[in-house]
Chain A
C-alpha cells in the first residue's frame, strides 16, 4: 500500500504494479477463516453472474440541460480545418470492476471492487505507462453497520481494506439490497474518479504537454483548471442544449463542432465545453463527443485546435470495442492495459 500522492493521505488498498495487491482469493481465504463460516468455507455466491457494472441497477434518465454559451449567443455549428493535428502527448483513463462475493443475512452484499487508472504516454507513436506504473486499488465494499463485527475483524486482521458504502451512516434498521448494490457501485465509481483525478493532477503539475482524459474534467480538481488537460466525454445522457440547440448538435457532420458553452455546477469546477462530430453516421449520437477544457484557457482558436487534436485520434480505430466510434485508440489502450494488470 502506498501513499496517495494526490492528497498526501494514506490510501489504503492503493498500490502500484509490482507490489502485491489484495485479490479476490485473499478475501475468500479470510472469509473462510471467519467465525461462523460453514465447513469448507464460504463459497462465491455469484459465480457466473454479471458484475455490478452490468447489472440493471437504477440509472439516471437521459435529459437536456441548458448551458451558458460562451462563443456567440446561441449554439451553432463551426466547420474545422480538414487537416487533423496531433497534439496529445498522453492518455488518461481508469477502469473499475466489482464482484459480489457473498450475501450476508438480510441480503447485505459483500463486494470486492478493483479500481485502476493509468496515464499512457506517447513516444514515437508508441504508448508507454507514465511513471512506469498505474494506480490500483482493491477493497471490499460493504455497509459497515449491517455487517457482522466478526467479518470486519477478520478483514482487519487479514489486512484487507474495507470501504463503508454508507459513509458511516447507521442503517441497522435494514436497507433494500438493490439500493445497497447501487451504493456500492457508486462508491467504486468514486474511487475510480479519485484515482483518475489524482493522476490528472500529477500530470498537470509536472508536465506541460496535453493529456487526453477519458470523460469530463470538471471533477478533476486542479486538472480542471490546467491548460494541459482535455476531457473527452463519450456518453450523452445529459445533453447540454435546449430548443434549437439539440438540432444543431444532432445535425453536426464529421469534422464540425458546436460553439462552446460553459458547464458549471456547485460541486464541480466550471469548464468550457463543445460538441464535436468525429464521423458521419445515421444515429444522432454516433461518433459524437463533448470536449471539456479549463474555462480560463478557452478561446475559439483553442477550441478549433483541440478539436483537430481529437479528430487526429480517430485512427487507428479502437475496434473491436463497441464504443469505437467515440473512443480514441489511446484510451482503448489504457483500458486494455489496466485490464491486463488488474487482479
Chain B
C-alpha cells in the first residue's frame, strides 16, 4: 500500500471527466508535470472499487489572496518584509491529470473522488498498458527509457509489433539541434532494439544515413563519458552498455577519387569503411531523382527509356552509327551519343528513331552531366561497390555517409538504397526481415510544402506501406511541423526532446497542455517525451547516453586523414586488404600509369578483394615496357692511322 499523495477534487466549475481529473497534494509532494498517479476510488461500481491511472498534465498553485494587491498592502509595499509574517499564507498545489486507463474499463465514468498515490512499477505497467506485451514468454517489449517520479523508477517499454511492424511502425523524433538528443536517442533505441527484439520475430538490421557532421561515424567505438548513472540505466533496462558490434560504413569517393568522402577517414578505422560507387546501370534506374520536371518532358522521357531498354548493357548497332556499341558506363554512353550525333549530322538528319536531334542533345547533356554532378559516387567505367544487399546481417548497422555530398548525390543514394531495400524485402532476399532506415533532417527530404520530389514520394511510400514489408523509418528533424503530415502521421511512435517554443506554438502541439509544452521546451538532455500507440497520453522518460563514441569526441580521438597523394591513397586502400603493401611498392607499380587508370585499378581491387592483392592490382594496369636508357655502343677500334708521310693517305 503506497502512501496517500493527494486527494481527488472536483467542483462544478472544474469537474472531473472520464478523461481528466483534478487532485491536490501537500506542498512538498514529488508530483510534477508528467508524473503518473493512481487513483483509488471510494465508491464501488458494479461491486468493485474503481482504479484510475493518470499522468499529470497541468499544475496550479495559489493562495487565499483575492488579488495580488492584498499582499502588497500586507507588506506595505516592501517585498523584503514578507519573511516577517509569523504565518505563511495557505497555499495549494492543484494538479490536473489526463486519464491513462480506467480499471475496469467499463462503464466509462468520470473519475470519482478518491485518494491519489504515486504510481509504482506495476501501476506504470498497467497505466501504459504494458502489461499486455512486456511480460511473459511472448513479450515484445523494447525498453525506451526509465520513468522517474519520487522514489519510483520504472522501465517504459515500446511494443515491437507497433515499432517495427506489422501492427504499426515507424518512429519520428523532434527536438532542437545542438543537444545531440535526437541522434543519441536513435543510437540508444537501436541498441535497445538489437538487445530486445525477439528472435522469433526475425532478423533485424539498420541502415543509417549520416547526413551531417560525424554524428554516426563512430558507432563501433566505446563511449568515453558513460558515468555510473548511465551504466545503471543500461543495467535496469537490460541493454549492454557497449558500442555496436557489427557496423559497416559506406561512402563515395571525393571528387578527385583519391579517398573516401567521410569524416571516418582515420587509418585506424579503415577496416570497415567501404566505397560506395555506382555505374551507369545503377544510376539510370533513378535518373528521375536527378532530373527535374523541366528536364524530363515526355520526349526526353521516351529517349531515356529507349536508352535504358535498348542501349545499355547490350550490343547496339545502327546504320547511323559509325560502329557498334556496348554501353556499360557513362564514358561509353558519351561515346554512343557522340557517334550518334556525328552520324546524324553526316546524313543531315533532324531526327533519329522519332527522337529529335534537340531532344538527343538535351538528354545527352543531362545524363552525362550526372557523372560530373555526382563525381565520386558515379563511375565512368561502370564499376560498382554497393551495400551487401542479399547478405545483410542480423543486428548489423550499415552507415551510409552522405554528409559531404551534394544534395543531388544524397537524393540519388537515398532513393536507390531504399528502393533496393524495398525490393529485397518484398522478395525476402535482403538477408534480414526488418530494416530500420534512419534519416535525419527529415524536413529537408519530406517537407510539408514545396514541389513533389522523388525522395519525398519515396518517404511517403515507406511511411504508408513500409510496415507490411518490414521497412521501418526512423526519422528525425528539428521542426516536426515542417515535415509532410502523411509522413509524421504514419509514425506510430513519436519522441520529443527539448523543443523550440516557436515550434510548440504551432497547431500540431495544441493537444498538449501549456505545462507539458513548457516542460518540453525545457527538457534536459537525456529526457524524452514518448508517444506510442499503447499510451493514451504522452509520458516522459529518461534514457542513458549512447554507449558509442560521440561524433565530436570521435573526430578528436580519430583525426581525419590529411589530403592524400594518389600513391598514398592507393597504398592506404590496398593496405586494408594486404598489410604488406608499401608506399614504395605502390609508387613503383603506378609509375607509368595514368591517374584514372590507377584509380580504376584500385577500385577493382577493392571490390574483388583478391588473395594476391599486389598481383591483382598490377594486372589491372596496362602493360607497359619500362623505358631503358640506350646502351652506349661498343667503341670500334680506330683504324690505324697512316704514317704522316704516307703519300696514299687522305
> CB within 8 Å of B: which residues of A?
84, 86, 88, 122, 125-127, 312-313, 315-317, 319-320, 329-330, 332-333, 336
Contacts and interface: CB of A to CB of B under 8 A. Distances in A.
Interface string B69-105: 0110111000001001111111000000000000000
A84 B86 CA distance: 10
B86 A333 contact: no
Nearest to B90: A333
Contact of B85 (A125, A333, A336): A125
Contacts of A126: 87-88
Contacts of A333: 87, 90
A315 B71 CA distance: 9
A315 B75 contact: yes
B358 interface: no
Contacts of A332: 64
Nearest to A333: B90
Most buried by B among A122, A319, A332: A319
Q: Which 4 A-B pairs have the closest CB atoms?
A: A317-B74, A320-B66, A319-B70, A315-B85
Contacts of B561: none
Given A316-B74, A317-B74, A336 B86 contact: no
Given A320-B66, A336-B64, A315 B88 contact: no
B70 A329 contact: no
A122 to B, nearest CB: 6
A316 B89 contact: yes
B86 A317 contact: no
Nearest to B75: A315
B49 interface: no
A312 B73 contact: no
Contacts of B70: 317, 319-320
B65 interface: yes
Contacts of B88: 125-126
Contact of B89 (A84, A88, A329): A329
Contacts of A312: 86
Contacts of A336: 64, 90
Contact of A125 (B65, B71, B75, B87): B87
Contacts of B84: 84, 315
Contact of B87 (A84, A316, A319, A320): A316
Contact of A315 (B65, B66, B74, B90): B74
Nearest to A87: B86
Given A333-B90, A336-B90, A319 B85 contact: no
A206 B87 CA distance: 23
Contact of B66 (A86, A122, A125, A319): A319
Contact of A127 (B73, B81, B87): B87
Nearest to A313: B86
Contacts of B73: 317, 319
Contact of A122 (B65, B75, B86): B86
A136 to B, nearest CB: 20
Contacts of B71: 316-317
Interface in B331-353: none
Contacts of A313: 86-87
Contacts of A330: 87
25 contacts: A84-B84, A86-B86, A122-B87, A125-B85, A125-B87, A125-B88, A127-B87, A127-B90, A312-B86, A313-B87, A315-B75, A315-B84, A315-B85, A315-B86, A316-B74, A316-B87, A317-B70, A317-B73, A317-B74, A319-B65, A319-B70, A319-B73, A320-B66, A320-B70, A332-B64
Contacts of B75: 315
A3 to B, nearest CB: 29
Contacts of A88: 86
B165 to A, nearest CB: 55
B630 to A, nearest CB: 109
Contacts of B81: 315
A125 B86 contact: yes
A207 B437 CA distance: 74
A316 B71 CA distance: 7
Contacts of A316: 71, 74, 85, 87, 89
B105 to A, nearest CB: 32
Most buried by B among A86, A313, A320, A329: A329
B3 to A, nearest CB: 17
A88 B73 CA distance: 23
A312 B74 CA distance: 12
B260 to A, nearest CB: 68
B70 to A, nearest CB: 4
Given A125-B88, A315-B85, 10 more contacts: A125-B87, A315-B84, A316-B74, A316-B85, A317-B70, A317-B71, A319-B66, A329-B85, A329-B87, A329-B89
A316 B90 CA distance: 10
A56 to B, nearest CB: 27
B397 to A, nearest CB: 57
A122 B65 CA distance: 20
A152 B81 CA distance: 58
Contacts of A319: 65-66, 70, 73-74
B94 to A, nearest CB: 15
Nearest to A320: B66
Nearest to A124: B88
A126 B89 CA distance: 8
A199 B70 CA distance: 32
Contacts of B74: 315-317, 319
A320 B86 CA distance: 19
A320 B71 CA distance: 11
A313 B81 CA distance: 13
Nearest to B88: A125
A84 B85 CA distance: 10
Contacts of A125: 85-88
Contacts of B64: 332, 336
Contacts of A317: 70-71, 73-74
Nearest to B83: A125
Interface string B199-239: 00000000000000000000000000000000000000000
Contacts of A122: 86-87
Nearest to B69: A319
